Amino acid sequence: MIFSWFNAAEAEKTAGTLAENFAKGFPVAQVKSDKKSQMRKEKAAQALFFQAQAFAKGNRLNIYKKARFGQAFQRRLAELGYDDEFSRALTQEVLVAL
């Protein structure tokens, strides 16, 4: 019972999948400061928040699992080529949405 509290494998796997889905909707090459790029980012972020909230409703995420989710999400964004500042900001927004 207590060991399930520390089992964050599903949260980490889902975080990686959500980061990849976000990258499909808003590729690294489109990260610009123009209005069209911002609109695409907002659309991809809204889809991301919806998916993250659906995952959180179906799975009880304690503080440990949320932390592991955030670490995995931020790490996967960095692997996909997003800069650290962007990765941190988006990760914080996703964690708040959970």
The pTM of this model reads 0.91
Q: Do residues 98 and 53 touch, judged by C-beta distance below 8 A?
A: yes
CB neighbour list of residue 45: distance below 8 Å, 6 or more residues apart = 22, 26, 90, 93
Q: What does the block give as tokens for 59? A: 């799975």
pLDDT tens-place string over residues 51-82: 999 999 999 899 999 999 999 999 999 999 99
The Cα 87–Cα 63 span in angstroms is 20
Query: Quick check: 1 pLDDT over 80?
Result: no
